[in-house]
Amino acid sequence: MGDAGSIPLGFLAGVLGIYGWQHDVWPLWFPLLVFSTFIFDTSVTLGKRALRGEKVWEAHRDHYYQRLVRLGWGHRKTAILEYLLMIATGGSALVILQQPANHVIAWLCLWAIIYVFLAYFVDMAWKSFNQS
């Protein structure tokens, strides 16, 4: 899709997420969890680039999904993993809506842990790939 498609779609998702929150359709965490696959990948990737002193606005191939493709997963397998993550986060967000408030924090922490572990494994595979 590239930036030409992903930027307007991301903006639309953000606007709808904020609109729904402001009009009490859902809590603020709901759209954040639903779109967490994109939010996490982008935030961590750009954060790492900024910490390394790289220009975050320049084209790059450092996103986790791009690394998976370059590690040999291919586009199909990488897309399936991303789809499964989106289904899991979206489905769990719908389940969490029905939970008491104290369960929401636990669920969100669980998803944060899952993302940290996934990022760690991709980072380790990437490091090994670049050393060979």
Q: What is the pLDDT of residues 40-78, one digit of tens each?
A: 999 999 999 999 999 999 989 999 999 999 999 999 999
Task: Please state the φ and ψ torsions of residue 99, each to the nearest 5 degrees.
Answer: -90, 160
The Cβ of residue 85 has, within 10 Å, a number of other Cβ atoms equal to 19
Residues 6+ apart with CB under 8 A from 103: 96
Residue 32 has pLDDT above 80, yes or no: yes
Residue 1 has pLDDT above 70, yes or no: no
Query: Quick one: which of 85, 55, 81 has its CA closest to 67?
Result: 81
Verdict on whether the full-model pTM lies above 0.85: yes
Counting other chains too, the contacts that 9-15 makes at CB distance below 8 Å and 24 or more residues apart are 10/38
Per residue in 71-130, pLDDT tens?
999 999 999 999 999 999 999 999 999 999 889 999 999 999 999 999 999 999 999 998
Token representation of residue 54? 């790289």
E-assigned strand segments in 1-132: none
No. of helices (H) and no. of strands (E), the chain = 6, 0
